[in-house]
Protein backbone atom coordinates (compact mmCIF):
# COMPACT_ATOMS: atom_id res chain seq x y z
CA UNK A 1 0.00 0.00 0.00
CA UNK A 2 1.40 3.39 -0.99
CA UNK A 3 1.97 5.75 1.91
CA UNK A 4 0.45 9.17 1.43
CA UNK A 5 -0.53 12.19 3.49
CA UNK A 6 -0.99 15.93 3.08
CA UNK A 7 1.59 17.12 5.60
CA UNK A 8 4.69 15.84 7.36
CA UNK A 9 6.18 17.51 10.44
CA UNK A 10 9.88 18.27 9.91
CA UNK A 11 12.04 20.14 12.39
CA UNK A 12 9.21 22.20 13.79
CA UNK A 13 7.24 22.86 10.60
CA UNK A 14 4.46 21.11 8.73
CA UNK A 15 5.58 20.73 5.12
CA UNK A 16 3.78 19.27 2.08
CA UNK A 17 4.21 15.52 1.70
CA UNK A 18 6.10 15.91 -1.60
CA UNK A 19 8.57 18.39 -0.05
CA UNK A 20 9.60 16.21 2.90
CA UNK A 21 13.12 15.41 1.70
CA UNK A 22 16.55 14.84 3.18
CA UNK A 23 20.08 14.97 1.75
CA UNK A 24 21.66 11.76 0.41
CA UNK A 25 24.53 12.28 2.85
CA UNK A 26 22.22 12.11 5.84
CA UNK A 27 24.32 10.25 8.41
CA UNK A 28 21.56 7.95 9.68
CA UNK A 29 20.89 6.77 6.13
CA UNK A 30 24.49 5.53 5.92
CA UNK A 31 25.16 4.26 9.44
CA UNK A 32 21.80 3.70 11.14
CA UNK A 33 22.23 5.73 14.34
CA UNK A 34 18.82 7.13 15.09
CA UNK A 35 15.67 6.62 17.14
CA UNK A 36 12.12 5.98 16.03
CA UNK A 37 8.72 5.05 17.36
CA UNK A 38 5.52 3.49 16.06
CA UNK A 39 2.31 4.94 17.50
CA UNK A 40 -1.34 4.47 16.59
CA UNK A 41 -4.21 6.92 16.61
CA UNK A 42 -7.65 5.31 16.71
CA UNK A 43 -11.15 6.55 16.09
CA UNK A 44 -13.18 5.40 19.09
CA UNK A 45 -16.83 4.41 19.38
CA UNK A 46 -17.90 7.98 20.19
CA UNK A 47 -16.26 9.28 17.00
CA UNK A 48 -13.34 10.96 18.77
CA UNK A 49 -9.79 10.29 17.64
CA UNK A 50 -7.25 9.39 20.33
CA UNK A 51 -3.51 8.69 20.13
CA UNK A 52 -2.84 5.63 22.24
CA UNK A 53 -0.23 5.94 24.99
CA UNK A 54 1.47 8.86 23.30
CA UNK A 55 3.38 9.91 26.42
CA UNK A 56 4.92 6.47 26.92
CA UNK A 57 5.97 6.27 23.28
CA UNK A 58 7.65 9.66 23.32
CA UNK A 59 9.32 8.82 26.61
CA UNK A 60 10.79 5.69 24.98
CA UNK A 61 11.83 7.71 21.93
CA UNK A 62 13.82 10.07 24.14
CA UNK A 63 15.24 7.16 26.14
CA UNK A 64 16.48 5.66 22.88
CA UNK A 65 18.10 9.00 22.03
CA UNK A 66 19.79 8.98 25.44
CA UNK A 67 21.05 5.43 24.90
CA UNK A 68 22.44 6.53 21.52
CA UNK A 69 24.04 9.72 22.96
CA UNK A 70 21.79 11.85 20.76
CA UNK A 71 20.54 15.11 22.26
CA UNK A 72 17.00 15.72 21.04
CA UNK A 73 16.38 19.35 20.08
CA UNK A 74 12.79 18.98 21.27
CA UNK A 75 11.28 18.23 24.67
CA UNK A 76 8.81 15.46 25.41
CA UNK A 77 5.97 17.98 25.45
CA UNK A 78 7.02 19.47 22.11
CA UNK A 79 7.22 16.05 20.48
CA UNK A 80 3.83 15.01 21.81
CA UNK A 81 2.39 18.24 20.44
CA UNK A 82 4.06 17.58 17.08
CA UNK A 83 2.31 14.20 16.87
CA UNK A 84 -1.09 15.74 17.63
CA UNK A 85 -0.48 18.52 15.08
CA UNK A 86 0.47 16.00 12.40
CA UNK A 87 -2.71 13.98 12.88
CA UNK A 88 -4.83 17.14 12.89
CA UNK A 89 -3.12 18.67 9.85
CA UNK A 90 -3.86 15.56 7.79
CA UNK A 91 -7.45 15.26 8.95
CA UNK A 92 -6.88 11.65 9.95
CA UNK A 93 -9.37 9.94 12.22
CA UNK A 94 -7.37 6.71 12.34
CA UNK A 95 -3.67 6.46 11.50
CA UNK A 96 -0.18 5.25 12.33
CA UNK A 97 2.50 7.72 13.47
CA UNK A 98 6.24 7.41 12.94
CA UNK A 99 8.44 9.95 14.80
CA UNK A 100 12.11 9.67 13.78
CA UNK A 101 15.14 11.36 15.35
CA UNK A 102 18.18 11.18 13.09
CA UNK A 103 21.56 12.71 12.35
CA UNK A 104 21.63 15.02 9.35
CA UNK A 105 24.36 15.51 6.79
CA UNK A 106 27.73 17.07 7.60
CA UNK A 107 30.51 14.86 8.87
CA UNK A 108 30.84 11.35 7.51
CA UNK A 109 32.68 8.61 9.37
CA UNK A 110 31.29 6.91 12.43
CA UNK A 111 31.15 9.55 15.14
CA UNK A 112 29.61 12.58 13.35
CA UNK A 113 29.61 14.50 16.61
CA UNK A 114 28.90 17.85 14.95
CA UNK A 115 25.99 16.82 12.73
CA UNK A 116 22.62 18.44 13.34
CA UNK A 117 19.97 16.32 15.02
CA UNK A 118 16.84 16.29 12.86
CA UNK A 119 13.33 15.23 13.80
CA UNK A 120 10.33 14.29 11.69
CA UNK A 121 6.84 12.92 12.36
CA UNK A 122 4.99 11.07 9.61
CA UNK A 123 1.38 9.86 9.72
CA UNK A 124 -0.44 7.54 7.35
CA UNK A 125 -3.31 5.08 7.17
CA UNK A 126 -2.12 1.57 8.06
CA UNK A 127 -4.36 -1.41 8.65
CA UNK A 128 -3.55 -4.57 10.56
CA UNK A 129 0.21 -5.17 10.19
CA UNK A 130 -0.17 -8.95 9.94
CA UNK A 131 -3.49 -8.71 8.11
CA UNK A 132 -7.12 -8.83 9.16
CA UNK A 133 -7.11 -12.59 8.66
CA UNK A 134 -4.15 -12.82 11.03
CA UNK A 135 -6.02 -10.84 13.67
CA UNK A 136 -9.13 -12.99 13.28
CA UNK A 137 -7.73 -16.45 12.60
CA UNK A 138 -4.05 -16.38 13.57
CA UNK A 139 -0.80 -16.49 11.63
CA UNK A 140 1.85 -19.03 10.70
CA UNK A 141 5.23 -18.30 12.31
CA UNK A 142 8.69 -19.82 12.14
CA UNK A 143 11.75 -19.63 14.36
CA UNK A 144 14.36 -17.72 12.38
CA UNK A 145 18.03 -18.62 12.07
CA UNK A 146 18.88 -15.08 13.22
CA UNK A 147 19.15 -14.53 16.98
CA UNK A 148 17.90 -11.47 18.79
CA UNK A 149 20.77 -9.17 19.73
CA UNK A 150 22.83 -10.03 22.81
CA UNK A 151 22.20 -7.50 25.56
CA UNK A 152 25.81 -6.31 25.56
CA UNK A 153 26.45 -6.24 21.82
CA UNK A 154 23.50 -4.00 20.98
CA UNK A 155 21.33 -1.80 23.14
CA UNK A 156 18.21 -3.92 23.26
CA UNK A 157 16.05 -1.42 25.19
CA UNK A 158 16.39 1.19 22.48
CA UNK A 159 14.25 1.38 19.35
CA UNK A 160 17.29 2.13 17.21
CA UNK A 161 17.06 2.42 13.42
CA UNK A 162 20.07 0.37 12.39
CA UNK A 163 19.43 -2.47 14.83
CA UNK A 164 16.32 -3.42 12.90
CA UNK A 165 18.42 -4.92 10.08
CA UNK A 166 18.60 -8.02 12.29
CA UNK A 167 14.81 -8.23 12.46
CA UNK A 168 14.46 -7.46 8.75
CA UNK A 169 16.71 -10.37 7.84
CA UNK A 170 14.73 -12.70 10.09
CA UNK A 171 11.41 -11.51 8.67
CA UNK A 172 12.53 -11.81 5.05
CA UNK A 173 13.93 -15.29 5.69
CA UNK A 174 10.67 -16.72 7.00
CA UNK A 175 8.47 -14.88 4.52
CA UNK A 176 10.46 -16.37 1.65
CA UNK A 177 9.72 -19.76 3.22
CA UNK A 178 5.97 -19.08 3.25
CA UNK A 179 5.41 -17.87 6.84
CA UNK A 180 4.06 -14.55 8.06
CA UNK A 181 6.29 -13.77 11.01
CA UNK A 182 9.65 -14.70 12.50
CA UNK A 183 10.27 -15.68 16.12
CA UNK A 184 13.77 -14.99 17.35
CA UNK A 185 15.72 -16.79 20.06
CA UNK A 186 18.20 -15.04 22.31
CA UNK A 187 21.88 -15.99 22.19
CA UNK A 188 21.28 -18.64 24.89
CA UNK A 189 18.57 -20.35 22.85
CA UNK A 190 15.52 -19.11 24.74
CA UNK A 191 12.51 -17.39 23.18
CA UNK A 192 13.10 -13.65 22.91
CA UNK A 193 10.59 -11.89 20.67
CA UNK A 194 9.28 -11.79 17.11
CA UNK A 195 10.81 -9.56 14.44
CA UNK A 196 8.71 -6.63 15.63
CA UNK A 197 6.46 -7.95 18.39
CA UNK A 198 6.56 -9.31 21.93
CA UNK A 199 5.37 -12.87 22.52
CA UNK A 200 2.86 -14.29 25.00
CA UNK A 201 2.34 -18.01 25.67
CA UNK A 202 -0.70 -19.55 27.38
CA UNK A 203 -0.61 -23.00 29.01
CA UNK A 204 -3.23 -24.33 31.43
CA UNK A 205 -4.70 -20.85 31.76
CA UNK A 206 -1.40 -19.27 32.86
CA UNK A 207 0.15 -16.52 30.73
CA UNK A 208 3.92 -16.56 30.21
CA UNK A 209 5.95 -13.61 28.94
CA UNK A 210 9.69 -13.15 28.44
CA UNK A 211 10.87 -10.75 31.17
CA UNK A 212 12.09 -7.21 30.61
CA UNK A 213 15.45 -8.09 32.12
CA UNK A 214 16.29 -10.09 29.01
CA UNK A 215 16.90 -9.21 25.36
CA UNK A 216 13.38 -8.02 24.53
CA UNK A 217 12.29 -4.48 23.75
CA UNK A 218 9.96 -3.20 26.44
CA UNK A 219 6.79 -3.13 24.36
CA UNK A 220 4.11 -0.59 25.22
CA UNK A 221 1.42 -2.88 23.84
CA UNK A 222 2.98 -5.68 25.90
CA UNK A 223 2.61 -3.53 29.01
CA UNK A 224 -0.99 -2.73 28.05
CA UNK A 225 -1.90 -6.39 27.66
CA UNK A 226 -0.18 -7.34 30.93
CA UNK A 227 -2.22 -4.66 32.71
CA UNK A 228 -5.48 -5.83 31.13
CA UNK A 229 -4.67 -9.47 31.92
CA UNK A 230 -3.95 -8.75 35.59
CA UNK A 231 -7.18 -6.76 35.88
CA UNK A 232 -9.04 -9.83 34.60
CA UNK A 233 -7.46 -12.11 37.17
CA UNK A 234 -5.05 -14.06 35.00
CA UNK A 235 -1.91 -15.53 36.52
CA UNK A 236 1.16 -14.14 34.74
CA UNK A 237 4.66 -15.57 34.92
CA UNK A 238 7.46 -13.53 33.43
CA UNK A 239 10.31 -15.92 32.64
CA UNK A 240 12.35 -17.17 29.72
CA UNK A 241 10.93 -20.22 27.98
CA UNK A 242 12.20 -22.69 25.40
CA UNK A 243 11.14 -23.20 21.82
CA UNK A 244 9.48 -26.53 22.55
CA UNK A 245 7.45 -24.96 25.34
CA UNK A 246 5.78 -22.95 22.59
CA UNK A 247 5.12 -26.10 20.57
CA UNK A 248 3.01 -27.55 23.40
CA UNK A 249 1.31 -24.27 24.33
CA UNK A 250 -2.47 -23.94 24.35
CA UNK A 251 -2.24 -20.47 22.84
CA UNK A 252 0.39 -18.05 21.53
CA UNK A 253 -0.17 -14.44 20.61
CA UNK A 254 2.01 -11.48 19.65
CA UNK A 255 1.65 -7.85 20.66
CA UNK A 256 2.93 -4.64 19.17
CA UNK A 257 1.70 -1.23 18.09
CA UNK A 258 1.56 -2.30 14.45
CA UNK A 259 0.48 -5.92 15.06
CA UNK A 260 -1.87 -5.04 17.96
CA UNK A 261 -2.89 -8.45 19.41
CA UNK A 262 -2.31 -11.16 16.80
CA UNK A 263 -2.76 -14.89 17.50
CA UNK A 264 -0.30 -17.55 16.29
CA UNK A 265 -2.05 -20.67 15.00
CA UNK A 266 1.04 -22.52 13.78
CA UNK A 267 4.75 -22.48 14.66
CA UNK A 268 7.44 -24.42 12.79
CA UNK A 269 4.73 -26.46 11.02
CA UNK A 270 3.19 -27.47 14.36
CA UNK A 271 -0.40 -26.58 15.14
CA UNK A 272 -0.72 -24.50 18.31
CA UNK A 273 -3.58 -25.67 20.51
CA UNK A 274 -6.69 -26.15 18.41
CA UNK A 275 -5.22 -24.22 15.51
CA UNK A 276 -7.56 -21.32 16.24
CA UNK A 277 -7.29 -18.28 18.53
CA UNK A 278 -7.96 -19.48 22.07
CA UNK A 279 -10.19 -18.03 24.81
CA UNK A 280 -7.44 -16.12 26.63
CA UNK A 281 -6.25 -14.55 23.39
CA UNK A 282 -9.80 -13.59 22.44
CA UNK A 283 -10.50 -12.10 25.87
CA UNK A 284 -7.38 -9.94 25.75
CA UNK A 285 -7.94 -8.99 22.10
CA UNK A 286 -11.44 -7.80 22.97
CA UNK A 287 -10.18 -5.92 26.01
CA UNK A 288 -7.44 -4.23 23.99
CA UNK A 289 -9.70 -3.18 21.14
CA UNK A 290 -12.28 -1.89 23.61
CA UNK A 291 -9.59 0.41 25.01
CA UNK A 292 -8.42 1.74 21.65
CA UNK A 293 -11.52 1.58 19.41
CA UNK A 294 -14.40 0.96 21.77
CA UNK A 295 -16.00 2.83 24.64
CA UNK A 296 -13.86 1.72 27.61
CA UNK A 297 -13.17 4.58 30.02
CA UNK A 298 -11.19 2.83 32.76
CA UNK A 299 -7.82 3.88 31.29
CA UNK A 300 -8.41 7.35 29.94
CA UNK A 301 -4.82 8.17 30.95
CA UNK A 302 -3.74 6.09 27.93
CA UNK A 303 -5.59 8.36 25.49
CA UNK A 304 -4.57 11.70 24.00
CA UNK A 305 -7.68 13.11 22.32
CA UNK A 306 -7.10 14.90 19.01
CA UNK A 307 -9.58 17.76 18.81
Report the catalytic residues.
Answer: 159
Q: Are 72 and 65 a contacting pair, CB within 8 Å?
A: yes
Number of Cβ within 10 Å of residue 17's Cβ equals: 14
Instruction: Name beta bridge partners: 119.
Output: 101
User: What is the number of residues in the chain?
Assistant: 307
Euclidean distance between CA atoms 130 and 115, whole angstroms? 37
What does each C-alpha distance from 84 to 3, 91, 297 come to in angstroms? 19, 11, 21
Euclidean distance between CA atoms 165 and 176, whole angstroms? 16
φ, ψ of residue 33 to 5 degrees: the values are: -80, 110
Euclidean distance between CA atoms 61 and 100, whole angstroms? 8
Q: What is the CA radius of gyration of the chain?
A: 19
Between strands 251-256 and 198-203, the pairing is antiparallel
Amino acid sequence: MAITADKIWMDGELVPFEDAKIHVLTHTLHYGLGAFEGIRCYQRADGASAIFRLGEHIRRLLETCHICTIDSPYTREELERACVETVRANGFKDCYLRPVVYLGHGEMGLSAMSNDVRVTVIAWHWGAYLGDDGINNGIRAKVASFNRHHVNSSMVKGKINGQYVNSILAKREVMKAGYQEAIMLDTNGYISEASGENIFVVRDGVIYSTPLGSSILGGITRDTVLTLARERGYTIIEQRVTRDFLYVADEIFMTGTAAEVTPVRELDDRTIGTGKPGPVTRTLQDAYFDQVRGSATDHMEWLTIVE
